[in-house]
Amino acid sequence: MSTGTRGSTGSIGTTEGIEALFADRLLQVHRDGRPTAPLSDELADAPLDLAYRIQQRQVAAWQAAGDVVKGHKVGLSSRAMQQQMGVSQPDFGHLTASMFHLEHQPIPAGRYLQPRIEPEVAFVLGAPLTGPGVTVAEAARAVEYVLPALEIVDSRIEEWRIGIFDTVADNASSGGVVLGSRPVRLPDVDLRLAGCTLHVNGDLVATGAGGAVLGSPLSALVWLANTVGPLGVTLEPGHVVLPGSMTRAFPIAPGDTVTTRIAGVGDVTAVLAREEQA
């Protein structure tokens, strides 16, 4: 389909050509570590589904290189994150095997350009979820257990100058994931009321609660299943789903140690390697 999307540079080609061009631009940032200008500067008023197709092209390239999709993330699901990023709706991205790090083990800081960190509850699925039409009851039944999690978000866009189009195209600003190691059954915790603390280098920087995430993290799981279902995507057993941050995101740097504690769920610690360890 040749629609010729227009931005500040005028017509820049067919839809398929645009997808390839901007996906390649973001993939190049992953390779050389030099952030790019916001895509929305050149794709003013472009539809959001174009951004998701740009995202999918990158995921396909990673899979072709041997990486494996291990789950999904919901981004911008709390009011705090929407205000911080200047958007008004959630988005989603893919989690691949290379994004997962072990807690307490040094994470190579050089993998990230502009990292920030968020405390979350991670769902691990025991049954598939296929939307549309997934209910809260069906989502709850599909969850095998939950884990405390820290998500490292990152942006391939210069200085985090992103709108919703930019972050969606950039795989929902995905970076890395650190999971706790003590599974908790969903019926054993009320995620709406579960409070969390976030400490960076021992200092308390934020508090939050599960209710900040679309009223309940489980609502974010329902939203995700019903959003990706019409795209032909099933949330698979064993996959991890990150429903969104309980607080705003905080910048982190080499050598930082970050811990979140979530009531009824547990704690998890992420350690960024010092530069000399990289």
Q: What is the pLDDT of residue 174?
A: 97
Report how far apart the first and last C-alpha atoms of the chain are (Å, whole number): 45
Q: What is the pLDDT of residue 278?
A: 52
Q: Which CATH class is domain 68-277?
A: alpha beta
Q: What is the pLDDT of residue 10?
A: 43
Q: What is the pLDDT of residue 11?
A: 45
Q: What is the pLDDT of residue 4?
A: 36
Q: What is the pLDDT of residue 5?
A: 40
Mean pLDDT over each residue of the chain, to the nearest integer: 92
| Residues in contact with 112: Cβ distance below 8 Å, sequence separation at least 6, in sequence order | 152, 154, 175, 176
Q: Which amino acid is at 153?
A: V
User: Which residue ranges make up each domain of the chain?
Assistant: 68-277
Q: Give the mean pLDDT per block of 10 residues along the chain (278 residues).
A: 36 79 98 96 91 97 98 85 71 97 95 96 98 97 98 97 94 97 97 97 97 93 95 95 95 97 98 80
Structure tokens at 10: 């005028």
Q: List, in sequence order, every beta strand (DSSP E) within 157-219.
A: 174-179, 195-200, 203-209
